[in-house]
């Protein structure tokens, strides 16, 4: 057997580049499939509807098992509550990465905060109301997707530049009095 000297081993490992720490390391690939090559903001945009869908499906199973009225009685809502808590933890890294990427852009930070607030409110509203019917419930719990899409679309669009924000209008021409 051939022995590898510690000097040779040290030289071989010194050539390898150091892998930089990435803000999205340890992000669940189910909520953010592009985490390895995407930005924190893109990961957050993927995670919002994905995690909402997961908890919505858990609540749907509880409703199938116990009905709309019984889905929250006793411990029947525990699976959904667990799902919500789990995904609040899982989305924390993408959300914080998105906020860091927004930097000092107040408009962008506020937009991300609004999206996060919409997401958390939507999760808490997965619980059926006491007098709610099936069709109304199903319509209500699908509504957040359009809110997510609209807010994400606004955040993806670049803000207008100063030249675009100010309309370029010429002053009105002075009318000459008509000759009589």
CA 122, CA 115: separation in Å to the nearest integer?
10
pLDDT band at 125 (very low <50, low <70, confident <90, very high): very high
Q: Give the model's pLDDT for residue 63.
A: 94
- Please report whether residue 64 resides in a domain: yes
Long-range contacts formed by 41-44: CB under 8 A, 24+ apart = 41/97, 41/98, 41/101, 41/102, 41/112, 41/155, 43/94, 43/97, 43/98, 44/91, 44/94, 44/95, 44/97, 44/98, 44/112, 44/115
Q: How far apart are CA 112 and CA 39, in angstroms?
A: 14
pLDDT, position 152: 97
**pLDDT surpassing 80 at residue 15:** no
- When pLDDT is averaged across residues 61-79 and rounded to a whole number, the result is 91
- Does some domain include residue 29? yes
Place of tokens 């040779």: 8
Question: pTM score, two decimals?
Answer: 0.74
Residue 85 has pLDDT above 90, yes or no: yes
Whether residue 17 lies inside any domain: the answer is no
Give the per-residue pLDDT at 9.
Answer: 43
pLDDT average, residue stretch 31-42: 83
**Is residue 41 one of the residues assigned to a domain?**
yes
Q: What pLDDT is recorded for position 28?
A: 79
Rounded Cα distance, 125 and 81, in Å: 11
Within a domain: 14: no
In a domain, 8, yes or no: no
Residue 66 is part of which domain span? 22-159
The percentage of the chain sitting over the pLDDT mark of 90, rounded to a whole number, equals: 58
- Write down the pLDDT at residue 72: 87
**CA-based nearest residue to 57, from 142, 143, 133, 152:** 142
Domain count for the chain, please give it: 1
pLDDT at 13: 43
pLDDT at residue 164 in the model: 53
Q: Does residue 179 form part of some domain?
A: no
**Which pLDDT band, with edges at 50, 70 and 90, does 175 fall under?**
low
52 part of a folded domain = yes
What's the rounded mean pLDDT across residues 69-86?
A: 92
- Predicted local confidence at residue 5, as pLDDT: 53
């Amino acid at each position: 057997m051939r022995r590898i000297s510690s000097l040779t081993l040290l030289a071989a490992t010194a050539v390898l580049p150091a892998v930089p720490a990435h803000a999205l390391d340890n992000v669940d690939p189910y909520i953010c499939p592009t985490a390895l090559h995407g930005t924190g903001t893109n990961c957050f945009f993927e995670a919002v509807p994905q995690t909402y869908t997961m908890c919505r499906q858990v609540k749907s199973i509880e409703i199938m098992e116990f009905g709309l009225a019984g889905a929250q009685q006793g411990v029947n809502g525990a699976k959904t509550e667990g799902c919500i808590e789990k995904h609040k933890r899982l989305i924390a890294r993408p959300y914080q990465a998105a906020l860091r990427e927004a930097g000092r852009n107040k408009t962008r930070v506020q937009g991300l905060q609004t999206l996060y607030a919409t997401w958390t409110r939507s999760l808490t509203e997965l619980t059926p109301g006491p007098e709610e019917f099936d069709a109304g419930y199903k319509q209500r719990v699908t509504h957040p997707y359009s809110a997510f899409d609209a807010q994400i679309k606004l955040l993806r669009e670049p803000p207008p530049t100063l030249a675009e924000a100010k309309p370029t209008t010429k002053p009105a021409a002075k009318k000459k009095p008509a000759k009589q």
